[in-house]
Each structure stands twice: as structure tokens, then as C-alpha cells.
Structure 1
Amino acid sequence: MRNGGIIFVLILLVAAAFVGAAAAEETREFVDDVGRQITLPVEIDAVSPSGPLAQIVLYSLDPDLFVSVSSEFSDIQKKYVDTRLLSLPVTGQFYGSKASTMNPESIMELNKRLNIDVVLDIGEAKETMKPDLDDIQKKTGVSFAFVTQNKLADIPGSYEKLGELLSRPEQGTRLSKYTSDLLAEFDSGMKTIGSDKKSLIYVTAIDGNSVSMVGNGSYHAEVIDYVGRNLAATSASSSGTGDGYTMEDILQLNPDFIIVSYADNHAYYQKIMNDPMWRTLSAVQNGNVYEAPNGPHNWMGGPPSIQRLLSMIWIGNLMYPDVFEYDIDTRVKEFYSLFFHYDLTDAELNDLMIYATSETSAATPAETKSSVPIFGMLAGLAATALFVWKKTLR
């Protein structure tokens, strides 16, 4: 009996060791981009995004990972997203203007039924981020992880990191390679262009004589500054809508190209193409005014995430077709399939880019030119002359 008892104890010890080893294998350690070591399951299948940037990027990795969303989807976005996500609970935003919408108590309650593996935060590292994330992780008992994806150059490395974090290494590597190759393609092309960059402005809003534009040096103007000469002044605002200008300012700048943000009924684009003062600009007369496509997100930003790569592909081809001489339709469809998991039809693509191609933009002035009264054109020219005269008197 004694020997039998010893053998039984040994069996129990061996079994316990195997169970302990198996339990240890079920978790892993991950170090995020602010140096926090986090214990995570080996396989991740339940993720909550901490804000709109994380929501966009997480979707590109795998829509099946979502167990909550940071905010509800707009009507435009609903067309492109997996319908399962439309009924998920909203957990809010941790950082940014809506930081207070992520409530630790709500996260704790949701976690009881969602069993969240990790809350994902994406963006620019802030000085207080490490203690902030440590604090909310302690309060909720849910792991929080941060990955840097701020500048365009951050995107390839961030996808490798995200693939590791979210146990989706193949998709992480696929998106990392795509973005790395794209940035290398544009670096080479922009070196060819050199100092011969076209001038442009990015108009985000128009209200009578008041015009909002994104200034150079802004995080929101990274693509504009890269592919062209952004004529807007150095950014004074961190907002995605940029800074305020008058119509007289715009007339003096007289850019080669105008990119205008999407608005309901294409209101800003139509204003530029049909207003007599705007029509005095060479960009309008030459058919070089383009409205940024919008779906599922505005290609120019709002928020400025991976879709900015689309704006780079698009604007590069518009301004330098001899350098970036690819078929834009093919490239856009490829991007939507890879990052938005959506296969665009030709009709959908045409609707999306209704005022975003050289054909449609070039056609619009010719169609509306006869309807613009000659006195309107003269008024615009007079306004320009008056503004320049005033500047010389200062």
C-alpha cells in the first residue's frame, strides 16, 4: 500500500506538472510600444478598439476579432462593414476629444459577457500613456495594448507588430509588405519629380467668404505636403478641418490643384466649380479640382488613418500621371479588398470617385462655363486685383 500510495502521489505530481505546463502555454507576454509588458492569450479572438483609429486598423487585420466597437458606424460606413459589427456594444473612446466615453465600470461589466482578450489602442504615443493604460487596466482587469501608427512611415512596422499582438501574423505581414512596397514606390517617384512639385491646397470647408484649409506641417496634411507644395500657411490648428482663410487669400495663392473634402450633395465641390470668384483660379479653369472620395472613410482623413494611403495613390496619379502611371481603378479595388475586405464593383467605384478623376473634373467647367455671367468673372478678377493692391500698401 505504501508503494502504491507513493506511485499515486507521483502520478498526481506529474499530472499537475503537465496541467501547469499546459496552462503556461495558453498565455504569452507581449511588450507594447510604450514598453508595457502584457500577459495575453496565445490565440486572440476577442478585441475591443479604444477609438476610431484602432477601429479602422483592427478591421483591416480581421473583422472577426471585434466584440465591441468604439463608436457607431455612419450611414456611409455601414455599406462597407460586416453587418455583424452593427449590433455590437459600443465601448467608447479612450483618448482624444471623446476620451470620457470609455468608462472603466462599463468595460468591466461588458467583459463579464464578452471575455475581452485585449483593448487595442492605436495612434501617437503620449507622455502619460503608460501610466494611463496601466491605470485603466488595473481598474478594469482587462489588458490594454498600444501600437504606434501615426506617420505614414509607421504603418509597415505597425502591421508586423499588430500581427504578433493579435495572433494574425500572416495578415500583418501581408499588409506590412503592401504598405512598405507602396511607400518605396512613392519615395522613388517623388525623387524623380524632385523640385517640380505641383502646388495645391486642401479645402475642408467653405462658408461664404470663409474657407478652411489644412496647413502645411500638420499631421493631417502629411500626404498633401509629401506629394505637392501645400500653399496653405504653416498649420496653427491641430484640428482636421485646419485653419481659416478668406476668399481673397485663396485668390492670391492660385494653386495648380485644389483638393476639396466631401460634403453632402458635393456642396463644396459645386461651390468651387460654379462660383464666379472661384472660377478665376487657374485650377478651376484647367479642370484640376477634385473631391476626395468618401467611403467607408474620407480618403484624406477624418480620422487620418490607413485610408491616407489611398489619397496618396489617387493624388499622385492625378498630378504626375507620367511618373505614377498605373491604372487607378485597379489600385483602388486592390486596396479596398486588402484593407476594407470589400470588393468594389465598377459602378460602386464610379460613384465613389464621381468628382475624383481627370475626366469628370475636366468636364465640369466646360458644362458650366456658359452659365457663368461675364460680370461674375470680372468681379472675381477685380477682387483679386483689389486684394493685391491692398497688400502693396501695407
Structure 2
Amino acid sequence: MPLLRCLLALACLTVGVASAQSRTVTDAAGRRVEVPDRIERVLAAGPPAAVLLYTLAPKTMIGWPRAPRPEESAFLTPETAALPSTGRLTGRGGTANVEAVLALKPDLIVDVGSTGATYASLADRVQAQTGIPYILLDGSFSKVPETYRTLGTLIGAEAEGEALAAESEKILKTVAEAVAAVPPERRPRVYYGRGPRGLETGLSGSINTEIIEAAGGRNVATSEGMGGLAGISPEQVLAWNPDVILLLDPAFAASLPKDPLWSGLKAVKEGKVYAAPVLPFGWVDAPPGVNRLIGLRWLAGLFFPDQFKEPLPEAVRGFYRLFYHVEPSPAQIEALLAATAPLAKPQ
């Protein structure tokens, strides 16, 4: 079975002989790119690619788009956490430039996320300016197993890619089966608030909120139509009156029961406001990468606790061991999950 999966990955990343030292591959955007046969130094174009690369082949990393903070480094291998900041080539706030990329001497640049025309054009431009092959991989949540197999095959980490792909499939399948057992009308209406005041969210089709639907929640912002991230007014959140509120900022989440603007909401009244863990990477978002797999398990268990037999602390420990190459202590796991506890109801 592993051989069949590797062959499928090779079919997704079409390989042809370009020369004795290189291959021609077709990436997820349909671009034909000549890459070296031996790839040892890889530059992640943005945060999702950095997380993917760290989980799969940390020794190939030459840096992070942003150097890990001390609290993040505690959940990473010491040698990888110490890698420098290389800046980011893609997404909002790009900081890397051609000279900086050339100085790093990567064998390959990898980006994970959208494969649309904008990102394909950026990849073509950077590749033309630097002469360094630039590969785009599909960052869709459902494509995580395929992406692991594809990149693993490309960089010579087939066994590692297969192991992570298989575990990803297991998580996705377990959650999908749990969600399928719950009638649609019993699935909670969820608002996901980003930003310092919780007024940025993802619309229908947004990569930033697709994990909510995958976990069995109903994203209230889909009523605003298709799109990516968007600013939302407080009045709109009040009109939605969600069953559950998910936030990135723990301090802001803790303030809601005393905030006149939010305290009347159903989710706040019932204590169903949760701050998503963010160490070493966000469980729901930030970045929207493979790090969301443990967030998927957390959210689905939050929505439908009776559907899961494995205790969440055990699931977290196993995930961090396999994907992040560290085994968190009981105290670290307790601290991670403390942020996920429901907030006190308004008095």
C-alpha cells in the first residue's frame, strides 16, 4: 500500500528527466519546473510552507520566514528553533528580496497555499530572477496527505512523507466520521474572530476558516458570500448571535463577559468562548497550514465530545511527537489546553 501511495504522489508531481543532475516536475499550479536530483537546502516562501517543511524534513530548512519566539521554540527541536529569519516571499508583508534569497543558496523554494494565477506569477518571477526552482503546493486542508507525499517524494523524504500522510488521513477520517454521526441541525453556529478586537473573520471558502466546517461547525460568516478574510462590524456579530465564539487573542477572549458589546451574545452567556492555542503554531489558523490538524481534533471534540474516545491530552502528545519532533511535558500540555477552556459566564 505505501508503494501505491508513493506512485500516486508521483502522479500528482509529474517527473521527467531533464538531465543527469535534474528532473522536470509539474507542481500543483501546473507549472513545469526543473529541480535538482539532490535537494538538501530548502527555503520556505511563507509560514505554511515553513510548518510543512519543519514537520517533514527539518534538516533541510535554512531558516524561518520569522524566527521563532522563545515561547514557540519550547515546542520545537533546539537546532531548528535556532535557525535565522529569512523573511517571506509570499503573502501579506513579504520581506525577502532577490539578493537575500540568492545569499541563502537554497536548492529549492517551496510555497504552500493558493495555486492561483497571482501566486503562480510570483513563483515564475522569483524563479526567473534567481535561477532557483520554485514549487507551488496545494494548501487545501483536504489535500494535506497528498501534499506530504508529493513533497516527500520531491526532496527524498518518502518514508517521512508517508508516515505523516497516513497520520493526517487518520485524523481527517476520524473527525469526518464523528461529524457525519451528528445531524446538521445539531452542529453549532460558530464565529471565528481574528485581530485585537475579534472583528476580522473568514468568509465562505476562506482557507482561514475551512477547519471550522471540517470539524462540524457552521461558520456564520458564510452568509456574507465567498471570499477570504474580511472586516466585520460589531452589529453583524450581534445579528449572527453565534453558539460558539473562537478567538486568537486570549486576553481579548477573557474580556468578553465584561464587555457590553459582547456580553449579551448567546455564546458569551453560555460560556462557549474559546481561545485557540497558538504554540508553536496556531491550531485554527496563523498560519493556515498542516498545524491545523491538531486544531481539527480539538474543535471536533469541543463541538461533539461524546464522539471521541481518546483523551485530548493524549492526542496532543502523540501529534506533537510525530509532527513537531518533541514530546511535551504534562505541564506543557496542561498550559496549552488551559487556553481552550470555556470562559466564565457573565455574572
TM-score, length of structure 2 as denominator length: 0.84
User: Hey, which of these two has a bigger chunk of helix by percent?
Assistant: 1
Q: Which of these residues, 324, 329, 341, is aligned with residue 345 of structure 1?
A: 329
Q: What does residue range 223-238 of structure 1 map to in structure 2 within 5 Å?
A: 223-226=211-214, 227-232=216-221, 233-234=223-224, 238=228
Q: Determine if contact 1:235/1:243 at 8 Å carries over to the other structure.
A: no
Q: Structure 1 residues 258 and 143, CA, compared in 2 at 3 Å: closer, same or farther?
A: same
Amino acid at match of 1:219: I
CA distance in 1, matches of 2:69, 2:240: 35
Q: Distance in 2 between matches of 1:324 and 1:187?
A: 12
Tell me which of 43, 47, 53 is aligned to 2:48.
53
What's the secondary structure of 1:356's corresponding residue? coil
Structure ID, larger Rg: 1
Counterpart residue identity of residue 108, structure 1? L
Alignment of 1:141 onto 2:131: yes
Shift of 1:303: 1.8
Asked if 2 retains the 8 angstrom alpha-carbon contact of 1:38 and 1:145, the reply is yes
The equivalences for 1:369-388 within 5 A come to 372=347
Q: Which one of 114, 133, 142 corresponds to residue 153 of structure 1?
A: 142
Distance 1:251 1:41, change over 3 A: closer
Partners of 1:129 and 1:336 in 2: CA distance:
30
Give the whole-Å Cα distance in 2 for the aligned partners of 1:152 and 1:281. Answer: 30
Q: Is the 8 A contact 1:317 1:325 kept in 2?
A: no
In the alignment, what sits opposite 2:76? Answer: 81
- 1:166–1:211: structure 2 CA closer, same or farther, 3 Å change rule? same
Hey, what's the Cα distance between the residues in 2 that align with 1:131 and 1:206? Answer: 33
Retained in 1: the 8 A contact 2:203–2:225? yes
8 A Cα contact 1:201 1:258, kept in partner: yes
1:125 aligns with 2:115: yes
CA distance in 1, matches of 2:166, 2:200: 36
Distance in 2 separating the partners of 1:206 and 1:69: 25
Q: Which runs of 5+ in 1 are unaligned?
A: 1-23, 373-394
The residue aligned with 1:110 is: 104
Shift in Å, 1:58: 0.5
Normalising by structure 1, we get a TM-score of 0.74
1:304 to 288, 291, 311: 288
* CA RMSD of superposed structures (Å): 2.6
- Conserved 8 A contact 1:46-1:67: yes
Secondary structure of 1:121's counterpart equals strand
CA displacement at 1:288 relative to structure 2: 1.9
Distance 1:218 1:74, change over 3 A: same
* Aligned partner of residue 80 in structure 1, secondary structure: coil
Q: Is contact 2:179–2:300 with CA below 8 Å preserved after alignment?
A: no
Contact 2:277 2:283 (8 Å CA) reproduced? yes
- TM-superposed CA distance for 1:276, in Å, is 5.2
List aligned pairs for 1:1-394, cutoff 5 A. Answer: 27-99=22-94, 101-111=95-105, 116-130=106-120, 132-149=122-139, 151-195=140-184, 196-205=186-195, 207=197, 211-226=199-214, 227-232=216-221, 233-234=223-224, 238-239=228-229, 242-246=230-234, 248-261=235-248, 263=249, 266-275=250-259, 278-357=262-341, 361=342, 364-365=344-345, 372=347
Distance 1:319 1:48 in 2: 37
Gaps of 5+ in 2: 1-18
The residue identity in structure 2 corresponding to 1:126 is: G
More relative contact order in 1 or in 2 (CA 8 Å, sep 6+)?
A: 2
Q: 1:98 to 1:205 in 2, by over 3 A?
A: closer
User: Could you tell me which residue of structure 1 aligns to residue 11 of structure 2?
Assistant: none
Q: Determine the C-alpha separation between the residues in 2 that align with 1:212 and 1:90.
A: 27
- Which amino acid is the alignment partner of residue 253 of structure 1? W
Q: Distance in 1 between matches of 2:137 and 2:199?
A: 35
- Greater Cα shift, 77-86 or 169-178: 77-86
**Paired-residue identity, %:** 26
Matched pairs, number: 326
* Alpha-carbon distance in 2 for matches of 1:337, 1:148: 25
CA offset digits 1:115-145 (Å, max 9, x no partner):
x221112111122555543443233232222
CA distance in 1, matches of 2:334, 2:121: 47
